[in-house]
Chain A
């Protein structure tokens, strides 16, 4: 009877040999598919979430109405559309009350993404609205009620049209994050624009055309749309959405990608371990088949098809298990999740499949193939010349394959490189360790405490195998440490960004003579407020003596633009100096400090001169420094900061920010009535929204971390298992010779603890580098070394490996030695 792959596998299965490999394969595939399906579904959800800040998936902005053909094309693709139009205009009420408001007209279906919120009274509790105001009615910003002295049901007029006040508008998903020059909002229906007669050709208006639909269709639509855009029409997608939340979501996505990539590496390691065990255990099998006359071709075919069969069976089961894992997860945690999980597509399963086959091919196949070529006796006696055994090349090949898989998975070479850097460091240090173990003199001298000698002799004698194992343990621990570290720094940063008492209201246009009474009023209500910033309005007119064009085209970088200036003696909190020098206190020099991107747009560097127009007076200043701002913070930020003396003679107003709890909102009514000229801008709902999303994203990250930790623990278990055979055999021989429990367990404990110590140390070093690379290259965060990582990593290595090792070997001291030996 011919030996076929199926028959060999069936025999192997009965003999219990195959169980380990199959289990490892299934588990690895399940982990990688489960985690990547899990993360891509979360990612899809987060992506969806980020769209809410556009109120759509993509938006086109324009100064003129956009062609109806765009909407028709979108509708033919089953893409939803909505339109908005914003412009400043006076709002009039009874008794000649009027105020310059920022009008926004919205069509039906607005917003396509996210939530519009209103309340039935000014500053009352906000609730989600299914739709904007009906034709003929308007919703007013809460503070307009006091400014115009109107209440619900009263009439106000805009241009030639009169509207009934129906509600207070509290938040829009696509609220502009810019807090300057923003009048209070009046929300009306899109179809009422014509009646107002205020929008004329040439008025300063912004049309927005909103689109939302299935990602694939949107993609198609955008490809169709882009060539038709006119100058002045701009396509916005998520990246141009809310800057505050955008980078948080982006980092969360990077984290999820990283987690998935690590799952690929972990799975690769697990398969490599199992494959190694498989090929080791089949060494005799190959030799005996050869001595019985099997040709190397026949053996190659046999093992080739066996591995293929195995791979197919295990990946199928693994994919199914992975699918179950993530489906179970979402089923259990759905209600705690911020967002509805999106679809994962088949990519995760393709990745699981490819990972399994690549790893089998790289880790199980080469040694078996080489064995097939060697002479049977040499195989049986394990007397193989070095190059014929499992070689370094195999591992390098495997590592390369895993790297390629990781890159394929993440599509982000910087992220992949950062992880590979850590892996490479682990491997290089591990090789160094192996060499020093192998080269170091034998430890024969230490005969006194024979526990130690036994343990160390064992460690040393199996130097290369142990070093390999240390490397594998170190890799698993490193990946876990990296993930824990990143999670911690991400969450810390987010929390620092939005402390519970973060300012959530801004006050602008405070006249110098009002300063005292405003601060008194805040203090009497014990409302904490930030510093007061002076504000001077002006316009940038020229750069290095060259006049800038006056245009509304936002595409054009160098153009005249209005800006708010402030003065300060010292660098404002949260700012970072990138170039140049900050002025000395009391400087009278005509100099300015610019925000990084603002300087870039105007093409300005330190040493250039800028011509300004402030209150109809020209002023020429020299750029003395460039600053980076923290746009994530809800603090007042300024593009241009001057020495106090330079702006001293210009008319200035002041601004500040303060924190108000929900139950204190009625204070605003009082404030506005007392100081009608002051502008109050509510950011509380936005801040709440951002905080809620960040909480949710943090929860998702914790969840992924937990899953990966479990996967990493499984790899450690598999790694320990793989090393147990040899140790069990030795221990039972010792046992037969009469060694006591203490000696055997002590020796094993020392051996595993030493390996754990090295693994922990390598892991910590590598993790530190990897995290550095990830934070600096990928997440654009600042890196700080983490001293607590060192004891943690090392303790983790020692405890985990010793614990798992002793647990796996416990049988050695509880069962008779012959029974143990027979089972190996």
Chain B
């Protein structure tokens, strides 16, 4: 389903080349739940971004459901994301100009769904933000914004959902609730889940754990 081959990412920093990912090989089957763990700065977010086609690799390739992301142009990748991928950013990335509801409706509208509004309301209720539909991101707390971001990723019912520390800002009770939600989605729709987390409990619930260290896979 998702296949990464010799995936590398380098950036030029102050004249020096910084190697962030040093040849990652990874295969994730459809419907699998995978936790990416590792120390801060080990390259987890970078890997997730590459797998989701949000960034371009310096070398190697990513193939999702027979589509090689590197072969597509920026627009092709965008269309691919719209159809197949949900993403929860570590820093949420909500649109400040839109309300919570409108933020969640966005991916649905992009797909031209007529029931965008009902669907968005439904998912916001599931992350317990029913009463905050018309609030703007800046009026929400960090955890609330994170939940909006999660609802947005859920809303389009993607086949693959990438989440970068989805419970990082949540208290244990809400965190628990969100995790249950993620796995429900996985059960109900067969959604592939790829999570980055520092939360051991969450990592334990996944079928596989990939540990990164210094840009390389240390262990599975």
Contacts and interface: CB of A to CB of B under 8 A. Distances in A.
The finding on whether chains A and B are genuine partners in a shared complex, rather than unrelated, reads yes
From A447, A462, A733, A737, residue with most partner B Cβ within 10 Å:
A737
Grouping DSSP codes into helix (H, G, I), strand (E, B) and loop, the A interface class, with mixed when no group exceeds half, is: helix
Nearest to A462: B97
B117 A736 contact: no
Nearest to B87: A736
B171 interface: no
A557 B106 CA distance: 82
B97 A457 contact: yes
7 closest residue pairs by CB, A with B: A738-B82, A461-B97, A738-B81, A818-B55, A450-B109, A741-B75, A816-B55
Interface string B82-119: 11010101000111111000100111011100001100
From A450, A736, A819, residue with most partner B Cβ within 10 Å:
A736
Given A447-B109, A821-B93, 5 more contacts: A730-B97, A734-B110, A738-B82, A740-B82, A817-B54
B75 A740 contact: yes
Interface residues of A, number: 31
Contacts of A450: 109-110
Interface of B: 49, 53-56, 74-75, 77-83, 85, 87, 89, 93-98, 102, 105-107, 109-111, 116-117, 138, 152
A813 interface: yes
22 contacts: A381-B138, A450-B109, A453-B109, A457-B98, A733-B94, A734-B110, A736-B93, A737-B87, A737-B152, A738-B80, A738-B82, A738-B110, A740-B75, A740-B82, A741-B78, A743-B110, A813-B74, A813-B75, A816-B54, A818-B54, A818-B55, A819-B55
A458 interface: yes
A738 B138 contact: no
A592 B162 CA distance: 96
Contacts of B53: 816
Interface in A422-460: 444, 447, 450, 453, 457-458
From A458, A730, A814, residue with most partner B Cβ within 10 Å:
A730
A816 B87 CA distance: 15
B78 A457 contact: no
A730 B95 contact: yes
Interface string A736-758: 11111101000000000000000
A462 B109 CA distance: 21
Contacts of B74: 735, 741, 813-816
Given A447-B109, A813-B74, A818-B55, A733 B93 contact: yes
B138 A737 contact: no
A735 B85 CA distance: 12
Contacts of A726: 96
A733 B96 CA distance: 11
Contacts of A743: 110
B78 A739 contact: yes
Interface string A782-824: 0000000000000000000000000000000111111101000
Given A730-B95, A730-B97, A815-B74, A737 B106 contact: yes
A461 B95 CA distance: 11
B97 A737 contact: no
Interface in A344-381: 381
A739 B82 contact: yes
Contacts, number: 81
A738 B98 CA distance: 17
B54 A738 contact: no
A816 B93 CA distance: 15
Contacts of A447: 105, 109, 116-117
A11 interface: no
B57 to A, nearest CB: 10
Contacts of A735: 74, 78
A738 B49 contact: no
A513 interface: no
Nearest to A727: B97
A579 to B, nearest CB: 62
A27 B97 CA distance: 32
Nearest to A819: B55
A738 B85 contact: yes
Contacts of B54: 736, 816-818
Contacts of A462: 97
A738 B79 contact: yes
A453 B54 CA distance: 25
A818 to B, nearest CB: 4
B117 A734 contact: no
Contacts of A814: 74
Contacts of B152: 737
Interface in A722-736: 726, 730, 733-736
Contacts of A673: none
B49 to A, nearest CB: 5
